[in-house]
Amino acid sequence: MGSREESHGRRSQSLPEVLVLEPPPVFKFHGDRLSEKFVFLKAWESPLPLEQFLIVHAQSVRALLLSGTYRLTADILRLLPSLKLIFTTSAGLNHIDLPACHKQGISVAGAGSLHSEDVADLAVGLLIDVLRKISAADRYARRGLWVSNGDFPLGFKLRGKQVGIVGLGTIGSQVAERLEAFGCNIMYTSRKEKPSVPYRFYSNVCQLASDSNILIICCALTDQTHHLINKEVLQALGKEGIVINVARGPIIDEQAMVRCLVQGEIGGAGMDVFEKEPDVPKELFALDNVVLSPHRAVHCQETLMDLCDLVVGNLEAFFSNKHLLTPVMMNQ
């Protein structure tokens, strides 16, 4: 028994160390597999305050596995002078202080387009749910209201709807492809017009909303897109308009959206993300024209397995001085 433990100890000592500040879903589901390749320094399990924990490991930590929701600031990075790689399990980068990474010579790798299909699928799923009132109808049937109150109210069809997509990147393009198959008319706004696509381009998001029945948010969160979808845009969308957000919560002015929904100034919403997660505005709970999802668009069993492969591949490449598989920012 002792020799087995000694062997395990020697093997662990020979494995590269990787810092984890909080456990991302890939770590929760595939931690055993990942731990066969690396020694993970789990900050959340330490009795030490975070700053002291980082100081203890400051000279040895060269790689960090980061969840897509953990805010990585310059103050934290300054405590890690040996850090040279951050792998984030998300496609978005708004939670990382990229200028600080550049200043310290830290490279960043991410999930790339791995999650795009799943996010696009959920965007369409949320939309169909809001239009056809699937979740609301489920509650109606479960509560026995079909018997006592009669037929459930009518929903709306998807075919023929004017759909405005905010951000025609990889995810936005896949949403567009799916909704084209449903017979929707696609329009979009993006940082730049894309001459290769057949959809009508709008430089003004308010005008896009005015011409749309449905507005789907797929863009990255930046200083420019923070509260891009404000009261004016929502009112332009109109009383029958629906907004779907599978991007980042703060892209929508959440207070303005809640007021518009409560006052009937827009027709409905499907939300996978929120401004102050995991807090969800309680006013939304009673609204049958709102479908809520707890930031799960990227979390599928198959994709988490693929993400595990991507984590291993990037970390192995880094520790072997090879090219990263999915680099976002190279500073080496």
If one compares 90 and 163, the residue with the highest pLDDT of the two is 163
pLDDT for 176 beyond 80? yes
331, 101 in Cβ contact below 8 A? yes
pLDDT at res. 207 = 98
pLDDT for 2 beyond 70? no
3-class state of residue 96 by DSSP: strand
Task: Say which of 22, 277, 283, 323 is annotated catalytic.
Answer: 277
pLDDT per position as a tens digit, 81-97: 999 999 999 988 999 99
86, 109 in Cβ contact below 8 A? yes
Q: Where are the alpha helices (DSSP H) in the chain?
A: 2-14, 25-35, 50-56, 74-78, 98-104, 116-132, 134-142, 145-149, 170-181, 205-210, 231-237, 254-262, 301-319
User: What is the pLDDT averaged over residues 32-58?
Assistant: 96
Of residues 242, 190, 193, the one with CA closest to residue 220: 190
Task: Say which of 115, 248, 254, 275 is annotated catalytic.
Answer: 248
**4 included as an active-site residue:** no
User: What is the pLDDT averaged over residues 43-55?
Assistant: 96
pLDDT at res. 14 = 84
Distance CA(68)–CA(253), nearest Å, equals: 21
pLDDT at res. 149 = 97
pLDDT for 332 beyond 70? no
Dihedrals φ, ψ of 51, to 5°? -60, -45
pLDDT at res. 112 = 87
pLDDT for 331 beyond 90? no
pLDDT at res. 4 = 45
pLDDT per position as a tens digit, 257-269: 999 999 999 999 9
Distance CA(211)–CA(165), nearest Å, equals: 12
Distances (CA, A) of 273 to 119, 126, 256: 11, 12, 15
Domains of the chain: 2-114+301-329 (3.40.50.720), 116-292 (3.40.50.720)
pLDDT per position as a tens digit, 201-229: 999 999 999 999 999 999 999 999 999 99
Task: Say which of 30, 57, 102, 295 is annotated catalytic.
Answer: 295
pTM value? Answer: 0.91
CB atoms within 10 A of CB 72: 23
- Class of residue 160 by CB neighbours under 10 A (exposed 0-12, middle 13-18, buried 19+): exposed
Q: State the chain's mean pLDDT as an integer.
A: 94
Distance CA(243)–CA(218), nearest Å, equals: 11
Distance CA(15)–CA(311), nearest Å, equals: 15
pLDDT per position as a tens digit, 6-42: 444 555 568 999 999 999 899 889 999 999 999 999 9
- Class of residue 11 by CB neighbours under 10 A (exposed 0-12, middle 13-18, buried 19+): exposed
Distance CA(101)–CA(74), nearest Å, equals: 8
| From 3-12, 152-161, 311-320, 321-330, the region with the lowest mean pLDDT | 3-12
- Report percent pLDDT > 90 for the chain: 90
Six token digits for residue 234 = 């929502």
pLDDT at res. 5 = 47
pLDDT at res. 8 = 47
Six token digits for residue 26 = 């890939």
pLDDT for 294 beyond 90? yes
- Report percent pLDDT > 70 for the chain: 96
pLDDT for 167 beyond 60? yes
Six token digits for residue 203 = 């430089």
Distances (CA, A) of 79 to 166, 211, 214, 222, 266: 38, 50, 46, 26, 47
Distance CA(313)–CA(174), nearest Å, equals: 26
3-class state of residue 144 by DSSP: coil
pLDDT at res. 7 = 43
